[in-house]
């Protein structure tokens, strides 16, 4: 079956899916989104992702016209119709369609759009070899804790990484403070301690980040949620990034210089295997 979409109750092929030109998501980026993953027919961390979607909607005052149970049923139904075992499920909620003006009325009906596509496995040769990263100034909008559709700064940072031959862009605030990446959270290993910036409103609270921290603590790894200075990141023994798509991915080069031995580190590998065992193969 081709990639399929669900738009306000209508199921179509992804190519035929349509929303109004006056939809505020299209006009303003006035909406939020989240992405789930299916592995071997099992949807990963549904509660955690939908909890975050709820928080994001509440933060920008979108009141859904559906219940959590209805949304879960829509996701299950779409996944079954797709007949896919390994898939990416994209959920987007906008404030809806209305007059083209900045202010919005409280009675608007949100647009709910979902699509499901095949998720190709991340190449093992890349995971084994590790990836390169660069640092760029964190110039995103003022509320990075909301998974908003206003992603232009993230797009530009990721494009800068792509044009530099790097996989990811690690964002630096005020020239010295490490926050996160264009589409993932960042971790460093300093003196055998796993360090990652805290969820204090200046980063997106990644689902994989949170689950990895939980698994690491349960396994008695030293963990610290605190901000990193750029100089600390540059001297880290290991750096890795996390998100739903790549799970745990080692960074072996930063701004043209090797990280540690220039290969994914021991703790990075241990945490990846722990994460897979704890959350994906459970």
Which residues are the active-site residues? 147
- In contact, 34 and 53? CB cutoff 8 Å: yes
Q: In 3D, which of 56, 54, 81 has the Cα closest to residue 66?
A: 54
Radius of gyration of the chain (CA): 19
Q: Which residues contact 128 (CB under 8 A, 6 or more apart)?
A: 264
Q: Which residues contact 174 (CB under 8 A, 6 or more apart)?
A: none
Q: Which residues contact 142 (CB under 8 A, 6 or more apart)?
A: none
Q: Which residues contact 107 (CB under 8 A, 6 or more apart)?
A: none
Please give the sequence-ordered ranges of beta strands (E in DSSP) within the chain, or none if there are none: 4-7, 10-13, 31-39, 42-43, 87-94, 111-118, 131-137, 168-173, 177-181, 185-190, 193-196, 223-225, 228-229, 238-243, 247-254, 257-258
What is the three-class DSSP state of 169? strand
Residue 162 exposure: Cα atoms within 13 Å on the Cβ side: 8
């Amino acid at each position: 079956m081709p990639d399929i979409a669900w738009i306000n109750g209508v199921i179509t092929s992804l190519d035929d899916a349509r929303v109004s030109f006056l939809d505020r998501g299209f006009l303003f980026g006035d909406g939020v989104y989240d992405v789930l993953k299916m592995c071997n027919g099992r949807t990963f961390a549904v509660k955690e992702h939908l909890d975050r979607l709820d928080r994001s909607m509440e933060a920008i005052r979108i009141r859904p016209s559906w219940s959590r149970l209805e949304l879960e049923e829509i996701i299950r139904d779409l996944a079954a119709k797709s007949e896919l075992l390994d898939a990416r499920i994209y959920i987007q909620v906008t404030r809806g369609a209305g007059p083209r003006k900045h202010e919005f009325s409280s009675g608007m009906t949100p647009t709910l759009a979902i699509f499901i596509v095949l998720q190709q496995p991340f190449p093992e040769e890349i995971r084994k070899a590790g990836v390169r990263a660069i640092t760029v100034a964190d110039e995103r909008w003022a509320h990075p804790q909301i998974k908003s559709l206003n992603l232009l700064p993230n797009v530009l940072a990721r494009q800068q990484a792509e044009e530099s031959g790097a996989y990811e862009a690690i964002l630096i605030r005020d020239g010295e403070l490490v926050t996160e990446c264009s589409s993932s959270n960042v971790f460093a290993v300093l003196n055998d301690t796993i360090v990652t910036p805290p969820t204090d409103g200046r980063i997106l609270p990644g689902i994989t980040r949170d689950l990895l921290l939980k698994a690491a603590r349960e396994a008695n790894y030293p963990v610290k949620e605190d901000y990193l200075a750029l100089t600390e990141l540059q001297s880290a023994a290991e750096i890795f990034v996390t998100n739903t798509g790549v799970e745990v991915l080692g960074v072996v080069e930063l701004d043209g210089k090797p990280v540690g031995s220039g290969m994914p580190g021991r703790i990075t590998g241990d945490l990846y295997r722990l994460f897979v065992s704890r959350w994906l193969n459970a």
